[in-house]
């Protein structure tokens, strides 16, 4: 049987891609971690919607390669797919932060992640429901501006109205929402009585935007924030206090419009998350330890690592073609392990159990992919499909050993 012209995808019946890999977003429908971990995440989301906080607010943490981005992607998929959740998930990565960073930097990234088009469509939807020609008063009367002082509310109502006009007014209004300062002439054109330079006004502006979006769409914005460990770079005491206070405001139960799920890289468990996200005021607002979900143990045990790999193989490999090939070529392997032998899967599981620093989905997937490529390179030497055994696994984990 001639296999020389077959690609890796063709040779091992990869139905989802070109290699043994998982794309966090393309493959977001499937969660490859332990069922107990997924159950905890699902229950947390469900309870957050049911409790006074009204919207998900919690933390995920784990070492590099532990699957934080994939967990966020799967959460986004679940929030969209499950109609019981009134949520609009919006993913973003925390921007790099300096030692003296202010809240404005994070606020701008959050508003940019929402996007001008979402805001414009929400404003148009609300405006269509206002019977009066006075759209500004209509925005104020509809209860979509519950946060901030009267000056801020009136200014933001004018800004929302400006999105109906398009052009320069719309663009400058968008920049105002992001915290940009205006000249006196620009402020007059927009109808704003103040700029939102104060951090508390920025949070109020964001929450009002969430209230508008919920009124227009029936959906609550849930920010999925990756790389949140960036806040550890903020070392100036005043900057830390400002950011801490703003996150505390967003995590308060009286914010039922904007959700926050943050993923934090932590190489040493919860103790290494950093004081910023574990201080008492934050800790208490997310229900103490219930609000911190550890991804670090996803594949650290032999059985959990084995389950992870079998789930990956079931997802990536065409099971029907694997079954046919095993039968026709009389291969000594069960379908769920193909193209690996059971001993090879056990060897990887034992290795990550014995080496905690490599107990991550990223390491396991890299090992599986490299081993598969090595076996595929040997295809011309065999009349049947080359199975990936312990010899190839050893060579992959310990190259040149």
Helix (H) / strand (E) containing 350? helix 342-354
Q: Residues 293-306: pLDDT tens digits?
A: 999 878 888 999 99
Q: Is the pLDDT of residue 401 over 70?
A: no
> Residue 46: what pLDDT?
96
| Res. 1: pLDDT tops 80 | no
Residue 56 sits in the same domain as residue 111: yes
In a domain, 156, yes or no: yes
**Percentage of residues of the chain with pLDDT beyond 90:** 92
Average pLDDT, the chain: 95
The pLDDT tens digits for 198-228 are 999 999 999 999 999 999 999 999 999 999 9
Whether 162 and 234 share a structural domain: yes
Closest to 260 in 3D by CA, of 316, 233, 221, 222:
222
Half-sphere exposure of 168 (CA within 13 A, CB side): 6
- One domain, residues 356 and 266: no
pLDDT for 81 equals: 96
Q: Radius of gyration (Cα) for the chain, nearest Å? A: 26
Instruction: Provide mean pLDDT across the span 322-334.
Output: 97
Closest CA to 226 of 362, 25, 84: 25
Give the predicted TM-score (pTM) of the model: 0.95
Shared-domain flag, residues 335 and 217: no
* Pairwise CA distance, residues 125 & 213, whole Å: 9
Mean pLDDT score, 353-382: 95
Structural domain span for residue 257: 35-294
Q: Are residues 190 and 117 in the same domain?
A: yes
Residue 206 sits in a domain of what CATH number? 3.40.50.300
Flag whether pLDDT at 2 surpasses 80: no
Does 1 map to a domain?
A: no
C-alpha pair distances (Å), 200 with each of 87, 163, 208, 288 = 24, 24, 12, 25
Answer whether residue 127 shows pLDDT above 70: yes
Residue 400 pLDDT = 78
Residue 307 is predicted with a pLDDT of 93
Residues 87, 221 within the same domain:
yes
Tell me which of 278, 294, 310 is where a domain ends.
294
The gap from C-alpha 118 to its chain's centroid, in whole angstroms, comes to 19
**Does the residue 30 lie in any domain?**
no
| Residues 158-167 as b or e (16 or more Cβ within 10 Å = b) | bbbbbbeeee
pLDDT in the model for residue 16: 86
> How wide is the angle at C-alpha 76 spanned by C-alphas 66 and 359, nearest 5°?
10
The model's confidence at residue 118, banded by pLDDT at 50, 70 and 90, is: very high
pLDDT tens by residue, 147-204: 999 999 999 999 999 999 999 999 999 999 999 999 999 999 999 999 998 999 999 9
Instruction: Return all residues near 372 (Cβ < 8 A) that are at least 6 apart.
Output: 8, 12, 19, 20, 339, 388
DSSP 161-206: HHTTT-HHHHHHHHHHHTT----HHHHHHHT-S----SHHHHHHHH
Q: CA-to-CA distance for 160 and 130, rounded, in angstroms?
A: 13
Confidence at residue 385, expressed as pLDDT on a 0 to 100 scale: 97
**Cβ atoms of residues 170 and 230 within 8 Å:** no
Q: How many CA atoms lie within 13 A of 205 on its CB side?
A: 32
Decide if 300 contacts 308 (C-beta within 8 A): no
Structural contact between residues 365 and 312, judged by C-beta atoms closer than 8 angstroms: yes
Contact predicate 61/26, CB 8 Å = no
Are residues 178 and 320 located together in one domain of the fold?
no
Q: How far apart are CA 148 and CA 372, in angstroms?
A: 58
Secondary structure, 3-state, 57-84:
EEEEEECCCCCHHHHHHHHHHHHHHCCC
pLDDT reported for residue 59: 98
Residue-wise pLDDT for 254-306, tens only, equals 999 999 999 999 998 898 999 999 999 999 999 999 999 999 878 888 999 99
pLDDT of residue 269: 86
Mean pLDDT of 116-145: 95
For residue 2, being part of any structural domain is answered with: no
Give yes or no for residue 106 having a pLDDT over 80: yes
Q: Are residues 290 and 310 in the same domain?
A: no
Share of the chain above pLDDT 70, in %: 100
pLDDT at 384 over 90: yes
What is the pLDDT, as a whole number, of residue 210? 98
């Amino acid at each position: 049987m001639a296999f020389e012209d077959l690609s890796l995808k063709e040779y091992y019946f990869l139905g989802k891609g070109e290699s043994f890999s998982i794309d966090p977003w393309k493959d977001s429908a499937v969660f490859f971690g332990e069922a107990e971990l997924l159950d905890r995440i699902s229950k947390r989301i469900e309870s957050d919607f049911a409790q006074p906080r009204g919207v998900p607010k919690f933390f995920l943490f784990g070492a590099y390669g532990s699957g934080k981005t994939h967990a966020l992607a799967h959460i986004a998929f679940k929030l969209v797919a499950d109609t019981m959740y009134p949520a609009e998930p919006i993913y973003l990565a925390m921007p790099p932060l300096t030692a003296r960073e202010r809240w404005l930097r994070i606020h701008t990234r959050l508003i940019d992640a929402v996007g001008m088009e979402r805001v414009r469509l929400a404003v148009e939807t609300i405006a269509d429901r206002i019977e009066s020609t006075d759209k500004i008063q209509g925005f104020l009367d509809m209860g979509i501006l519950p946060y901030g002082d009267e000056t801020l509310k009136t200014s933001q109502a004018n800004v929302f109205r400006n999105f109906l006009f398009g052009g320069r007014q719309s663009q400058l209004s968008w920049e105002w929402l992001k915290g940009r300062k205006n000249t006196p002439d620009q402020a007059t054109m927009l109808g704003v009585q103040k700029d939102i330079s104060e951090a508390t006004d920025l949070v109020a502006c964001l929450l009002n935007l969430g209230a508008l979006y919920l009124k227009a769409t029936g959906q609550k914005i849930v920010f999925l924030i990756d790389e949140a460990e960036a806040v550890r770079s903020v070392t100036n005491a005043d900057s830390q206090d400002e950011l801490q206070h703003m996150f505390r405001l967003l995590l308060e139960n009286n914010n039922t419009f904007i959700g926050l799920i943050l993923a934090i890289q932590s190489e040493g468990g919860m103790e290494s998350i950093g004081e910023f996200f574990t201080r008492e005021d934050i800790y208490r607002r997310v229900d103490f330890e219930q609000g911190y979900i550890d991804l670090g143990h996803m594949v650290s045990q032999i059985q959990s690592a084995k389950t992870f790999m079998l789930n990956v193989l079931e997802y990536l490999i065409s099971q029907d073609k694997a079954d046919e090939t095993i039968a026709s070529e009389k291969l000594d392997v069960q379908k769920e392990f193909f193209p690996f032998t059971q001993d090879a899967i056990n060897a990887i599981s034992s290795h990550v159990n014995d080496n905690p620093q490599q107990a991550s989905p990223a390491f396991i997937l890299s090992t599986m992919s490299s081993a598969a490529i090595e076996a595929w390179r040997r295809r011309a030497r065999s009349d049947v499909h080359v199975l990936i055994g312990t010899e190839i696994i050893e060579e992959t984990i310990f190259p040149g050993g």
